[in-house]
Amino acid sequence: MKALLLSAEKTLELTDVPEPELAQDAVLIRVAACGICGSDVHGYDGSTGRRIPPLVMGHEAAGVVERVGSAVDGVSPGDRVTFDSTVYCGECDYCRSGRVNLCDNRQVLGVSCGEYRRHGAFAEYVSAPARILYKLPESFPFEHAALIEAVSVAVHAVELAPPQPGQTAVVVGAGMIGLLIVQALRAEGCDQVVAIDVDDDRLKLAKRFGATHAFNAKTADAAAAVRELTGGAGADLALEAVGMTETVRSAVDCVRKGATVVLVGNLSPDIELPLQSVVTREIRVQGSCASAGEYPKSIELMASGAIDVAPLISAVSPLERGPEWFDRLYRREPGLMKVVLTP
């Protein structure tokens, strides 16, 4: 089959590879769309150690079931499906308690890291265990399905807060995940959603997606503005989608006493935390990683239009042009959000 193979660091080639083998509990999917994830772009130069060549990357995908393994029930050829990017084992304590994102035996499709190599979906076919599959509504566009992973990350983070209707929430960082968090907060009934970023174009998008207020941290005192919007108290919750000292500080500064700050971004592995402010105001700092069963809810929110991903798709392009798109994303071409490849 045709596949986009990472044959060496920063070298992608369209080539022929053997079709994936079909395990008893797995499903072979003819890939219709697969998104290029930031982790693919960051990893394909070898810097993260999680894309060791040779590898077919790609874990944000959707397509049509071609064949099913002998032990698979409830899925048939012709079904339109997507799948969780995390291949969880389904058997460890975390999986059994529903926290599949923390699975002890977690693997990710399209990743090779020394411990395992699992080919992904920048190819005609990909195989995935049936337990991580989700069916897509008939009219759901495959290109949009490539963003379900990102939506599920946002929905999971919001559910960890979680907001009550009528509350005021702050979102620090209006990149892809931040913009989806803005929409998820509105869907949960937050009255005021305040977006903070340093890029006016992103802030404009945040407003288009339902942010009631947007502040550029370069030119405005966002924390003071949030206090003014909340009668001096501060926001009820904040979600941080960058992961640097300044942005985490901004999230902590914006919330009221006793509030929750959910940390999603982790650009820097270490940051300085305004400890005294967190301790004396009893702020709950909550980490959030990937998602744990939020795929059906994410699909529903997208199908109903409550979360709109179309404006986040910069390009839908044939698999052949993958090398060029990886290069453009790697060089951080301004304005590019999600690029979706279609095998």
Residues that bind Zn ion (CB under 5 A): 37, 60, 88-89, 92, 95, 103, 149
Query: Which C-beta is closer to Zn ion: that of 92 or that of 233?
Result: 92
Query: Which C-beta is closer to Zn ion: that of 95 or that of 313?
Result: 95
Shortest Å distance, C-beta 223 to Zn ion = 31
Shortest Å distance, C-beta 264 to Zn ion = 13
CA torsion sign for 206, 212, 218, 219 is positive
Shortest Å distance, C-beta 150 to Zn ion = 7
Shortest Å distance, C-beta 276 to Zn ion = 36
Query: Which C-beta is closer to Zn ion: that of 109 or that of 262?
Result: 109
Shortest Å distance, C-beta 61 to Zn ion = 10
338, 35 contact by CB (below 8 A): yes
Distance from C-alpha of 139 to C-alpha of 89, rounded to nearest angstrom: 31
Q: In sequence order, what are the beta bridge partners of 216? A: 197
Q: Which CB contacts under 8 angstroms, 24+ apart, belong to 138-144?
A: 138/80, 139/303, 140/80, 140/299, 140/302, 140/303, 142/32, 142/33, 142/62, 142/63, 142/80, 142/342, 143/33, 143/313, 143/316, 143/340, 143/342, 144/302, 144/309, 144/310, 144/313
Query: Which C-beta is closer to Zn ion: that of 26 or that of 193?
Result: 26
Distance from C-alpha of 142 to C-alpha of 281, rounded to nearest angstrom: 45
202: amino acid identity, one letter: R
Going by C-alpha positions, the residue among 64, 105, 102 that lies closest to residue 82 is: 64
Shortest Å distance, C-beta 102 to Zn ion = 8
Query: Which C-beta is closer to Zn ion: that of 131 or that of 281?
Result: 131
Query: Which C-beta is closer to Zn ion: that of 162 or that of 287?
Result: 287
